[in-house]
Amino acid sequence: MLTFSKFSQRPRAFKTMTGVSVEKFKEIVGSITPHWEESEHKRLGRPNRKRAIGAGRKFKLPTLHDKLLVLFIYFRTYISMDFLGYFFDLDRSNICRLIHYLQAAMKRVAVLPGDKPKRARSRRRKISNLKDYVDASIRVT
């Protein structure tokens, strides 16, 4: 299973697969952490939830670093979710769900690949344009 702790020990491969250096990645994780925690608390604290916060199955990827690594590799390479799931030992539905959750939090701090220009201009950017780092574009197949 691919994890941030293992992958960050190979800085050249890390930058090739994610589009950012390990140091920049850590900086981005630091700026998104409060937004991620807020969105997770909102998601888990909804009134119709059957279980208490903390109950239920845990994510297989324990840290935000590992979760964000999934998103960066996806944006950089646009490989299929099945293929990405193989690297992280997750099912494609879990990869899809994780990317969806992370994109919502990332949109608060950065312009993401595929954002519409009008919407992107109005958003405050705490991280400079993520498109510049990830160097990804939407590929039509």
Which residue has tokens 């990827």? 61
pLDDT of residue 85 exceeding 70, the answer is yes
pTM to 2 decimals?
0.79
Mean pLDDT in residue range 71-87: 93
For residue 40, the model assigns a pLDDT of 87
For residue 10, the model assigns a pLDDT of 96
For residue range 100-126, list pLDDT tens digits in order: 999 888 887 777 776 665 555 555 455
Residue ranges per structural domain of the chain: 4-49+59-134
Between the alpha carbon of residue 55 and those of residues 49, 58, 72, 93, the distances in Å are: 11, 8, 28, 21
DSSP state of 3: -
